[in-house]
Structure 1
Amino acid sequence: MLKPANARLAGLYETSCKACHATPGTGAPLVHDRVAWDPRWKQGEAVLLDHAVQGYKAMPAAGQCVACAPSDFQGLIRFMAGREDPA
C-alpha cells in the first residue's frame, strides 16, 4: 500500500486523503497515477495547493483535513502526484 514516508504525512493521508485518492471511481486522481496527475501538475503547485485548501469540484475545502497546514498539503500533493523529494 502506498503512503508517504514521513510519519506525520502518512497519518494525515490515512485519515483524509486516502478515502478518495486511493479509491477508483471517486473522480479524484489516484495516488501515483501520473496520467491523471500530470495535467494537474502542469498548472503549478500553487494552483494545486489552492484547490486543496479552498476545495475544487467535488473535493471539499481542506480535503476535510482540519489538522493540515499548508506545508502538509504541499507534501501530500507531492506524494500523491508521485513527485516526492527523494529521501
Structure 2
Amino acid sequence: MDLSLRSWLITISTLACFSTMAIAADMSSSAISERIKPSGNIHLEGAEPVVAATTTPSRTGQAIYDQYCASCHNSGLMAAPKKGDADDWATRVSQGDAVLAEHAIKGFNAMPAKGTCMDCSDAEIVAAINYMIHPN
C-alpha cells in the first residue's frame, strides 16, 4: 500500500472514531435534558405570584474595603491612593464625587471596574470610596 493511501485511510479512520465519540457525548441523558428543559414558567390565574427574593442588606464601606480594596489601597500598589492619605486623594477628590465614583465603578487606568467586586452595588462602591477618604 502506498504512503498517500495509508495516510488517507488513517485520517478517515481517526475522523470517524472521533466524530462518533462527539455524537455519543451529545446524546447523554443529561445533555438531552438540558437542551429540552423549559425556558420559563407560566402563571396560572388564581395562583399566588412568585415574589422576588429580598435583596441582601448592603455592606458597609469598611466591609467592602477590607475584602476588595485593601490589597491595593493599603500599600499604594500601582499608584492607588492610600486609605486616609489626604495628599494621595487630593487630585481625585478635586475632580468631584461623580467622576470619582465613575472611575471606581467603571474602572480607570490600573483601577479595575468595581475593584473586582462584581456583586457590589454602586452605593456600596461609593461607601468604600468614602471610607478610604475618611476612614474614621
In the superposition, the TM-score normalised over structure 2's length comes to: 0.52
Separation in 2, partners of 1:81, 1:70: 17
From 45, 49, 53, give the equivalent of 2:101: 49
Counterpart position of 1:77: 129
Alpha-carbon distance change, 25 to 66 in structure 1, aligned in 2, over 3 angstroms = closer
Identity %: 33
Give the paired residue count: 78
What whole-Å deviation, never above 9, does each CA across 1:20-78 have from its counterpart, x for those lacking one?
00013431000011001011101011001100111000011111012211111111111
Separation in 1, partners of 2:85, 2:79: 13
Unaligned 5+ residue runs, structure 1?
A: 1-6
Amino acid at match of 1:47: V
SS in 1 for 2:128: helix
Amino acid at match of 2:68: S
Deviation beyond 2 Å, 4+ runs, structure 1: 7-11
Unaligned 5+ residue runs, structure 2?
A: 1-58
Greater radius of gyration (CA) = 2
Amino acid at match of 1:30: K
Separation in 1, partners of 2:61, 2:77: 24
CA RMSD of aligned residues (A): 1.8
Separation in 2, partners of 1:55, 1:10: 20
Separation in 2, partners of 1:51, 1:25: 17
Determine which structure has the larger helix proportion and give its number.
2
Alpha-carbon distance change, 74 to 24 in structure 1, aligned in 2, over 3 angstroms = closer
> Which one scores higher on RCO, CA 8 angstroms, separation ≥ 6?
1
